[in-house]
């Protein structure tokens, strides 16, 4: 089965900032794929490239087998897109904006839009300008889904919404995927995303640091915490594949794949350390640890560059 989205060695710069750095990934049909990462990680840039709003500096993209750089309008006609601040005509009513949008799509759009607005308990006669942020988001989602697109792309759609509206949003994503359609969801609401995502992509500094099935990620990763005798103690050689390490004073925390728990216990006893605390982390725990490691590495790199600049000034 061909992927609904494919990126191959895609890079994009804005001045000196590398928003995407050699990103390659495939997103399969009929899945809910969550894109996670901190602000500035490259999530929105990737979505803009997919929709043809920007062009990559290098690499290739395909959405439904089409190149966004040359077939942007055709791609957008087959994609439902919801941003964190969807542009809506303030003077229209809920019903009128659906009628207006129907003029750009084949017959049946208006009926499907009305069905969706009823599902979200929207009043047809309400003016857009009088709606709350959550209710406006429901209108935007109804507009994006009414032509039943094979791909729905959502860029932080639940930002600022109350928990009930977020839940309704995310439950609708499950329904879309159940029909064999695909959802790409960029979000900060990791706990909520964990309920609905099939696949997860973690972006940091424009690079993909994880892309796999959510359940496989959670099952394959183990969190290990060991209390060390001092904050400057040398970290242990972890018996497994360490994917993240973050020290918190006396406590050292690892994320590990293929952990040999027996060997780790023996190692701690041989070094007269307390028994390690071992558990299966949630998706949010995994993401936070990766982000903390990334911040620590970035601070170390900034300090190194600052030191080099200082030395260069002294040599002048």
Asked if residues 26 and 3 have their Cβ atoms less than 8 Å apart, the reply is yes
pLDDT by residue, tens only, the chain of 316 residues? 789 999 999 999 999 889 999 999 999 999 999 999 877 788 999 999 999 999 999 999 999 999 999 999 999 989 999 887 788 999 999 999 999 999 999 899 999 999 999 988 899 999 999 998 888 988 998 999 999 999 999 888 776 667 777 777 777 888 888 888 899 998 877 877 888 899 999 998 899 988 999 999 999 999 999 999 988 888 899 999 999 999 998 999 999 999 999 999 999 999 999 999 999 999 999 999 998 988 887 776 666 555 555 554 554 5
> What's the pTM?
0.84
Rounded CA separation 302/88 (Å) = 42
Backbone angles phi, psi at 206, to 5 degrees: 80, 5
Residue 234, CA atoms < 13 Å, CB-side half-sphere: 2
Rounded CA separation 147/183 (Å) = 15
Residues 6+ apart with CB under 8 A from 215: none
Asked if residues 145 and 175 have their Cβ atoms less than 8 Å apart, the reply is no
Query: Tokens for 255?
Result: 């994320």
């Amino acid at each position: 089965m061909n992927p609904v989205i494919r990126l191959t060695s895609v890079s994009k710069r804005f001045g000196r900032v590398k928003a995407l750095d050699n990103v390659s990934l495939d997103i399969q049909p009929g899945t809910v794929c969550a894109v996670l990462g901190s602000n500035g990680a490259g999530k929105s840039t990737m979505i803009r490239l997919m929709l043809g709003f920007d062009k990559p500096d290098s690499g290739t993209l395909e959405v439904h087998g089409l190149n966004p750089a040359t077939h942007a309008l055709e791609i957008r006609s087959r994609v439902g897109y919801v941003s964190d601040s969807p542009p809506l005509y303030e003077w229209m009513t809920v019903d009128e904006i659906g009628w207006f949008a129907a003029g750009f799509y084949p017959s049946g759009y208006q009926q499907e839009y009305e069905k969706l607005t009823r599902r979200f308990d929207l009043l047809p006669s309400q003016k857009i300008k009088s709606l709350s942020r959550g209710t406006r988001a429901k209108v935007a989602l109804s507009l994006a889904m009414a032509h039943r697109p094979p791909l729905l792309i959502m860029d932080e759609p639940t930002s600022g919404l109350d928990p009930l509206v977020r839940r309704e949003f995310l439950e609708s994503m499950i329904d879309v995927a159940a029909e064999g359609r695909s959802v790409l969801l960029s979000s900060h609401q990791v706990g909520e995303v964990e309920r609905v995502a099939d696949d997860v992509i973690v972006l940091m500094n424009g690079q993909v640091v994880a892309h796999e099935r959510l359940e496989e990620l959670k099952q394959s990763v183990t969190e290990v915490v060991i209390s060390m005798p001092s904050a400057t103690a040398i970290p242990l050689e972890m018996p497994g594949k360490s994917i993240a390490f973050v020290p918190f004073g006396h406590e050292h925390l690892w994320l590990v794949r293929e952990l040999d728990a027996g060997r780790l216990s023996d190692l701690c006893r041989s070094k007269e350390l307390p028994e390690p605390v071992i558990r299966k982390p949630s998706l949010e725990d995994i993401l936070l640890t990766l982000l903390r490691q990334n911040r620590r590495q970035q601070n170390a790199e900034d300090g190194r560059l600052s030191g080099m600049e200082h030395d260069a000034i002294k040599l002048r």
